[in-house]
Amino acid sequence: MNVRVVLVGIEGAVNLGVIIRTCKNFEVEEIYLVKPVASLEEASRYVAKADDYLRNKVCVVGELSEAIKDVDLVVATSAKGYSLGDILRQAISIQDFLETIKGRNTRLAILFGRESTGLTRDELEKADILVTIPASPEYPVLNVSQAVSIFLWELWKLYGREASNIPPRASRDEINELINIIRSITGLAFTSKDKLDKLVFTWRRVIYRSNPSKYEVRLLTYWSRRVYNRLKKQYS
């Protein structure tokens, strides 16, 4: 999946800086600005360590058509997802959109409109799909930087690389090794097979529900084995 973020008429330098930073978070390779109102120089104050993205990934163009060429799918975003009788306002939710592209290797352009007025009808007509992010009916309009963050996060969950700041999860074999030692420990204190099975089953459910990391299971296995060996000596 190749994602291009297209900001049409972006007005706020803070929003622009935050969006560029967000694009780096989720490895977006292309950022197109269509007739930006915001100052790129001012936005540079808010990009944090994404200044390389501001220099190398941002392309400023004068027309939307230039920003959506060479892509397979053009997606417009809007808080105004539905209006009776308006063919341009028949949106699908972001969840439904993700289902339609799951498994597809697509060059995708996502259009985000102006903070004040969003996308014009002419701009909406250029999109293949209109997508909306569900929010409170009382106040459904998201800040543009929030909308970009949510959209890219959802795409990342589908297509992104495994995060390096999340520890690897324990395998089934590793967890079962721990549970077998827990069974041995429990068997030293309970002779009833029914009670033993019920307790071990409960441990299994609790451990799997916690989704432990490899390191956590390794430590617990080491601890459990030491406890078992010590108790076994006392009980024998």
Structure confidence by residue, pLDDT tens digits, 128-174: 889 999 988 888 899 999 999 999 999 999 887 666 777 888 888 89
What mean pLDDT is reported for the chain? 91
Distance CA 113, CA 141 (A): 12
pLDDT band with cut points at 50, 70 and 90 for residue 210: confident
User: pLDDT for 35-65, tens place per residue?
Assistant: 999 999 999 999 988 889 999 999 999 999 9
- Contact 218/174 with Cβ under 8 angstroms? yes
Based on the domain organization, do 118 and 74 belong to the same domain? yes
Among 128, 159, 190, residue at a domain's last position: 159
Token readout for 214 is 């490899």
Based on the domain organization, do 7 and 70 belong to the same domain? yes
- Contact 138/179 with Cβ under 8 angstroms? no
Q: Give the structural domain span for 112.
A: 2-159
Cα–Cα distances in angstroms (integers) from residue 10 to residues 94, 105, 180, 208, in the given order: 22, 28, 59, 46
Distance CA 206, CA 198 (A): 12
167 occurs within a structural domain:
no
Based on the domain organization, do 26 and 129 belong to the same domain? yes
28 occurs within a structural domain:
yes
- Contact 17/148 with Cβ under 8 angstroms? no
Among 159, 194, 216, residue at a domain's last position: 159
Q: How many CB atoms lie under 10 A from the CB of residue 208?
A: 13
Scan for tokens 């084995």, then name that residue: 225
Distance CA 43, CA 52 (A): 13
Distance CA 62, CA 189 (A): 76
Q: How many distinct structural domains can be found in the chain?
A: 2
| Number of residues that this document lists for the chain | 236
Distance CA 39, CA 19 (A): 14
Q: What is the average per-residue pLDDT within 116-134?
A: 92
Q: How many CB atoms lie under 10 A from the CB of residue 60?
A: 13
β pairing state of 30-34 and 73-77 = unpaired
Token readout for 83 is 């209006």
Q: What is the average per-residue pLDDT within 120-134?
A: 92
Nearest 5°: phi and psi at 117? -130, -5
Based on the domain organization, do 138 and 177 belong to the same domain? no
DSSP3 helix / strand / coil % (the chain, rounded to 5): 50, 15, 35
**Torsion sign (Cα): 175, 179, 180, 184:** positive
pLDDT band with cut points at 50, 70 and 90 for residue 88: confident
User: pLDDT for 177-194, tens place per residue?
Assistant: 999 999 999 999 888 999
AA letter at 169:
R
Q: How many CB atoms lie under 10 A from the CB of residue 65?
A: 10
208 occurs within a structural domain:
yes
Based on the domain organization, do 130 and 215 belong to the same domain? no
Helix axes 13-25, 144-159, angle to 10 degrees: 10
Based on the domain organization, do 127 and 202 belong to the same domain? no
User: pLDDT for 16-32, tens place per residue?
Assistant: 999 999 999 999 999 99
pLDDT band with cut points at 50, 70 and 90 for residue 14: very high
Based on the domain organization, do 124 and 217 belong to the same domain? no
